[in-house]
Structure 1
Amino acid sequence: MKAVVMTAAGDPSVLQLQERPLPELQSDTEILVRLKAAGINPIDTKIRQRGTFYPDQRPAILGLDGAGVVEAVGAGVREFHIGDEVYFCNGGLGGHPGTYAEYATVEERFLAHKPKTLSFAEAAALPLVAITAWEALFDRSRLGAGQRVLIQAGSGGVGHIAIQLAKQAGAIVCTTVSTAEKATFVEKLGADEVIRYTLDDPIVRVMNWTDGVGVDVSFDTVGKQVLSQCFASTRYYGDVVTLLAPSPDTVWKVARDRNLRFSFELMLTPMLQNLAAAQMAQVGILRQCAQWVDQQQLTVHLAQTFPLEQAAEAHRQLEAGGFVGKLALTME
């Protein structure tokens, strides 16, 4: 099969298209998926830059998100059959091979049926960001109906899904964007208040919007000074959740003075720590999201697709930024 292999840590040029052996089923409950598309996420570029989580296992095939068709099943597989369309988030951290390839093996319990109304590329763009946004809003910060939430970078991969999930829960959404085009995009997703951070101070705008109280929940998808911004925008005894490690200049005093509940969201934890039950819970999120997609209550925005052999260029585009939504690789 063809696969994009990370030959060393470094710039996008370390991603090389190679011929690799077709993966074989290693257990009765494994499934061979003929991949049609792979989602591209910032974690992919970070692993490529600094090295994988398993440096003794090289070369590596990156890519956590995938969508495709079941090609073969182990004798113990019960829920899936040859020809089923599936999507998933699994592998790609340097241990189990990822989705930048024509085929991948996945344990049955980590697969979900693909949303029927999405293309394979759209479906492959959804898993990691949907799980991340869901866990951040509902598991970490316990967002509920009627609450006000600030979602930083609402036009990004995680952000644009988070807006929709928050609205699905009945929350009132404020979000930040950089341009008028992105403002229009998030308004169409249902954002109630949109802040152009290039024009206005988000803290001032949030406080004006909430009559000086602050939001119930702030979701930081950016890091650095944005986390301190979230602390200052959140009400006393509110919740702040971040996807990034705090920078040294984070203003923790504000968080302490406001008695904020602070959480990290790292959706990779179940895979990195072999927490099968937690990873199965993430599959439950994918099943629910698939239902909402097919009921037209959730959508994923795909900015651009690249053929598999252009994975390096896709990484360059992701690192350059400026686009709306997600990028994906396609195998056909």
Structure 2
Amino acid sequence: MKAVLMTAAGNPEVLQIQEVVNPAVPVGNTKLLIRLVAAGINPIDTKLRSRGTFYPELMPAILGCDGAGIVEAVGAGVQRFRPGDAVYFCYGGLGAESGNYAEYTVVDERFVAHKPTSVSFAEAAAAPLVLITAWEALYERGRLEPGEKVLIHGGAGGVGHVAIQLAKLKGAAVSTTVSSQEKANFVKQLGADEVIFYKQTDFVQAALDWTDGEGVDLAFDTVGGETFHKTFPAVRVYGDIVTILEPNANTVWKVARARNLRIGLELMLTPMLQGLEESLQHQAEILEQCAKWIDQGKLKIQVNHQFPLEQAAKAHQLLESGSITGKIVLLISDE
């Protein structure tokens, strides 16, 4: 099969398309052989490519956590799927298990969900990592409740545009930061109640004005860096702030402590990195629920750029250029 191999850590040119041996499904287990139609590209992919994977001794590597495709064959223990089923999932691509920049992959059925029927394979492949991240951050780390007010940084981005929709589905009011009128129009279409142009406006003051000086119940940081600690005064006393980035070592925690904030750290890769099978199964259950919402028209994934598999390096270059609206996807086969 054709696959994009990461031959070494470095710039996008280290991604080379090559012929490799097709994976096989071991007899008597619960794994699926999946013919990949599309693979999503995420910031974790570019970080692993530039810095090295979590398993540098296992090189070369096939990147790509997000995939969507068709079940080709099943192990004897498989119960939920059969050949011909369309699926989507977030699994592999961290350096240990083979990722999805390839024509085929093997994944345990417990970690796979049925693809939403109303969207393309490209849209489905763009969805898993951002859906799980936003779900865990808002619903599990942040404990978002109906009627609460949430501030979402980077609302037009991959995670942000999904987070807006999940927050609205929970019955929350949403404010979000954007950098342009085009992005403002986009997030308003997703249901954002308050849009903050962070380059022209102090987002803390805007959030306080929006909440009559109290602060939001939950802030969701998808940006990191100074944005994380600068958000502390925008959160109400005893409120929550969740970030998907590692806080800087020089983060000043004084305001967070004075306001008695609850700090949440969200990394949806933890189950893969720690081998937590029950948590991986829970993530697949999240995708099953989100597929229902997608098919009901309550949730959508924005795919703005699509590249053929052999142009994975160009896709990485685009993502690293910054300020991307929505998601980037690799198209692997026709369907």
How high is the TM-score relative to the length of structure 1? Answer: 0.99
Q: Which amino acid aligns with 1:135?
A: E
Alignment of 1:7-26 (within 5 A): 7-26=7-26
Match of 1:5 in 2: 5
Instruction: Give, in angstroms, the shift of residue 264 of structure 1.
Output: 0.2
Q: Pairwise mapping of residues 162-311 of structure 1 onto structure 2 (< 5 A)?
A: 162-311=163-312
The Cα shift of 1:24 comes to 1.1
CA distance in structure 1 between the aligned counterparts of 2:319 and 2:131, rounded to whole angstroms: 18
**Superposed, which structure 2 residues align to 1:86-165 within 5 Å?**
86-165=87-166
Q: Deviations over 1:44-71 (max 9, x none)?
A: 0000011111111110000000000001
Could you say which residue in structure 2 is the equivalent of 1:320? 321
Give the aligned residue type for 1:38: A
Q: Tell me whether 86-95 or 321-330 shows the greater mean CA deviation.
A: 321-330
Equivalent-residue separation in structure 2 for 1:248 and 1:83 (angstroms): 49
Q: Kindly state the Cα deviation for residue 232 of structure 1 after the two structures are TM-superposed.
A: 1.3
Q: 2 CA distance for matches of 1:245 and 1:76? A: 39
Name the TM-score, length of structure 2 as normaliser.
0.98
Q: Distance in 1 between matches of 2:249 and 2:273?
A: 26
Q: What displacement does 1:245 show?
A: 0.7
Runs (4+) of structure 1 exceeding 6 A deviation are none
Q: CA deviation at 1:83?
A: 0.5
The one-letter code sitting in structure 2 at the alignment partner of 1:234 is V
Do the aligned residues in 2 keep the contact of 1:219 with 1:230 (CA within 8 Å)?
Answer: no
Letter in 2 for 1:14: V
The residue type equivalent to 1:32 in the other structure is L
CA RMSD across the alignment: 0.7
Deviations 1:293-331 (A, max 9, x none): 000000000011000000000000000022211000001
Provide the secondary structure at the position in 1 that maps to 2:231. helix
User: How far does residue 249 in structure 1 lie from its aligned partner after superposition?
Assistant: 3.7
Residue identity matched to 2:21: P
The letter for the 2-side match of 1:185 is F
Aligned partner letter, 2:6: M
Q: How many angstroms apart in 1 are the aligned matches of 2:280 and 2:31?
A: 15
Kept after mapping to 2: 8 A contact 1:225/1:249: no
Deviations along 1:90-142, one digit per CA (max 9) or x if unpaired, are: 00000010000000000010110000011000000000000000000000010
Deviations 1:122-178 (A, max 9, x none): 000000000000000000010010000000000000000000000000000000000
Equivalent position amino acid for 2:10 in 1 = G
Matching of residue 54 in structure 1 with residue 52 in structure 2: no
CA offset digits 1:10-31 (Å, max 9, x no partner): 0000000000000011352110
Q: C-alpha separation between the residues in 1 aligned to 2:252 and 2:184?
A: 28
Question: 1:250 offset after TM fit, Å?
Answer: 2.2
Work out the CA distance in 2 between the residues paired with 1:205 and 1:111: 41
Aligned AA (1:250)? T
Alpha-carbon distance in 1 for matches of 2:204, 2:3: 46
> Which stretch of structure 1 is more off in the superposition, 184-193 or 17-26?
17-26
- The question of whether the paired residues in 2 share the 8 Å contact of 1:146 and 1:171 is answered with yes
Alpha-carbon displacement from aligned partner over 1:67-92 (angstroms, at most 9, x marks no partner)? 00001111111110100000000000
CA contact (8 A) 1:152 1:219 kept: yes
Tell me, what secondary structure is at the counterpart of 1:18? Answer: strand
**CA distance, structure 1, for counterparts of residue 85 and residue 119 of structure 2:** 14
The alpha carbon displacement at 1:247 in A equals 1.4
SS in 2 for 1:219: strand
Aligned-residue offset at 1:199: 1.1
User: In the TM superposition, what is the alpha-carbon distance from 1:198 to its structure 2 partner?
Assistant: 1.1
Distance 1:250 1:225 in 2: 8
SS at match of 1:31: strand
1:267 Cα deviation from its structure 2 partner: 0.2
AA aligned to 2:88 is: Y
Alignment partner of 1:323: what SS? coil
1-structure distance, mates of 2:213, 2:252? 20
Identity of aligned residues (%): 61
2:251 and 2:137 mapped to 1: Cα distance?
20
Q: What secondary structure is seen at the aligned counterpart in 1 of 2:54?
A: coil
